[in-house]
Amino acid sequence: MSRKALDYDQINENVKKAQYAVRGELYLRASELQKEGKKIIFTNVGNPHALGQKPLTFPRQAPFLLDDPNVGLVFPADAIAKAKMYLSYTAGGLGAYSDSRGLPGIRKENAIIIGDSDPELIYLTDGASKGVMQMLQTIIRGNGDGILVPVPQYPLYSAAISLFGGALVPYYLEETANWGLDINNLRQSVRAMVIINPGNPTGQCLSVDNLQQILRFCHQENLVLLGDEVYQQNVYQDERPFISSRKVLLDMGPPISKEVQLISFHTVSKGFLGECGQRGGYFEMTNIPPQTVDEIYKVASISLSPNVPGQIFMGVMVSPPKPGDISYDRFLRESKGILESLRKRAHMMTDGFNSCKNVVCNFTEGAMYSFPQIKLPPKAIAAAKSAGKVPDVFYCLKLLEATGISTGFPPEDDHFAGRGGHACNHGEFQEVQ
């Protein structure tokens, strides 16, 4: 037998088709340069701790105190009490598989904070990404199934849809997106719609009006709404606060509030906690029929359980120290400090980009990214072409080689190239520019 099972031409096509630019070509080149000794600033991924953001003290004390019960002398009393409480939620400590949905006590905590929520419909996951992948796998039956995804988007969606053999149906994020797509006449069924609110990479927050329109649309077209709300604590302006899709949905009253199917995602990786490495997150189901929930549970059970420390982070995140607690002042100082700094950097980056020639950058209302648009001169575009690269990738590679700044870019680049030299660039904040 000459063909081996894992020869390149023998592997699953869906795997080959999938793209995930956040850690793709540019990142790999940056890593190479770093190995050669060049100082690289990674702005490609929303990974705050890697760029010097300090973890908050209290969350780090509460869960990890549990790893050694002898350390009573080193931690404040409220951290110790919190730790004991979380320990009591587990059946056997941090080293035991929990319920496949996550520890009931922590799901209850989350349900209370969300307000009027059923803990049985909140599933904790190893980061929000796992939850997204699980839901897409459940929804996509074959390549006849389309998922509406915003453009630009966070490439987890395009990668996951590709991996599961579905079809990505793009929709524009713009003022008068009269995209004229008559769903009825598509030769495939569109099953779900993804919204990222606050947006990644664009940072905008959706207004109540927007959300209502989206929900009505989903109701009319029988779409499941997948609400990626991982940046809900990263909002840097006051005019448009974050409002959850679930709240808007329930406020709209029946029939919509009882019929639109919604999955909302959250994480411990963003906000001011930035605990990316813990892999903690959840999804909440609204209006999903019980039999479907059973199937979702079944798939969750195959992976046994989400990691327990990550689950506890989810608990501490939604119920942090309160006024009067010993750790409250420090917690407030740390969390406010981080958010204020992020807000400051949002302004700095925007202004900085806008001061560059041929660059336009909208203010980052939320999330963690700048998304400047760069008008590349024709010579640059030609040079890119002869180098066999898409213009904005070409620009980013040059930027990397010259300055050590590693950025990311949206994967749908070939659409941005060629016409008028517009390109999009995706960067993260850094204190030193």
Cα–Cα distances in angstroms (integers) from residue 235 to residues 161, 206, 324, 346, in the given order: 28, 11, 26, 10
**Residue 42 identity (one-letter amino acid):** F
Contact pattern for another protein over residues 210 through 249, marking x by CB under 8 A? x--xx--x--x-xxx-------------------------
Quick one: which H or E segment has residue 218? Answer: helix 208-221
Span interacting with another protein, options 68-76, 80-88, 314-322, 339-347, rule CB under 8 A:
68-76
Among 81, 112, 113, 304, binds another protein (CB under 8 A): 304
Shortest reach from residue 138's CB to another protein, in Å? 5
292 binds another protein (CB under 8 A): yes
Among 85, 87, 183, 348, binds another protein (CB under 8 A): 183
In 252-359, which residue ranges form alpha helices assigned H by DSSP? 256-259, 290-302, 308-318, 328-354
Shortest reach from residue 412's CB to another protein, in Å? 8
**Residue 429 identity (one-letter amino acid):** F
> Is residue 430 within 8 Å of residue 41, measured between CB atoms?
yes
**Closer to another protein by Cβ: residue 313 or 394:** 313
**Closer to another protein by Cβ: residue 176 or 386:** 176
**Closer to another protein by Cβ: residue 111 or 288:** 288
> Is residue 72 within 8 Å of residue 89, measured between CB atoms?
no
**Closer to another protein by Cβ: residue 348 or 359:** 359
287 binds another protein (CB under 8 A): yes
Shortest reach from residue 49's CB to another protein, in Å? 4
88 binds another protein (CB under 8 A): no
Shortest reach from residue 274's CB to another protein, in Å? 6
Contact pattern for another protein over residues 157 through 176, marking x by CB under 8 A? --xx--xx--x-xxxxxxxx
Q: Which of residues 312-351 bind another protein (CB under 8 A)?
A: none
Q: Which of residues 362-381 bind another protein (CB under 8 A)?
A: 362-363, 371, 373, 375
CA-wise closest residue to 264 among 282, 242, 290, 289: 282
Distance of alpha carbon 375 from alpha carbon 373, whole angstroms: 7
Name 209's Cβ contacts closer than 8 Å, sequence gap at least 6. none
Among 113, 299, 332, 382, binds another protein (CB under 8 A): 299
Is the previous residue joined to 391 through a cis bond, with omega within 30 degrees of 0?
no
Name 356's Cβ contacts closer than 8 Å, sequence gap at least 6. 372
401 binds another protein (CB under 8 A): no
77 binds another protein (CB under 8 A): no
Per rule CB under 8 A, count of chain residues that contact another protein: 151
Is the previous residue joined to 48 through a cis bond, with omega within 30 degrees of 0?
no
Phi/psi zone of residue 336: left (φ > 0), alpha (ψ -120 to 50 degrees), beta? Answer: alpha
Among 29, 207, 233, 339, binds another protein (CB under 8 A): 207
Among 85, 94, 318, 326, binds another protein (CB under 8 A): 94
Span interacting with another protein, options 244-252, 269-277, 325-333, 400-408, rule CB under 8 A:
269-277
Cα–Cα distances in angstroms (integers) from residue 197 to residues 65, 163, 348, in the given order: 34, 24, 22
Shortest reach from residue 356's CB to another protein, in Å? 11
Beta bridge partners of 263: 226, 285
393 binds another protein (CB under 8 A): no
Phi/psi zone of residue 136: left (φ > 0), alpha (ψ -120 to 50 degrees), beta? Answer: alpha
Q: Which of residues 7-46 bind another protein (CB under 8 A)?
A: 7-8, 10-16, 18-20, 22-24, 31, 45
Among 131, 150, 227, 408, binds another protein (CB under 8 A): 150
Span interacting with another protein, options 48-56, 114-122, 318-326, 331-339, rule CB under 8 A:
48-56
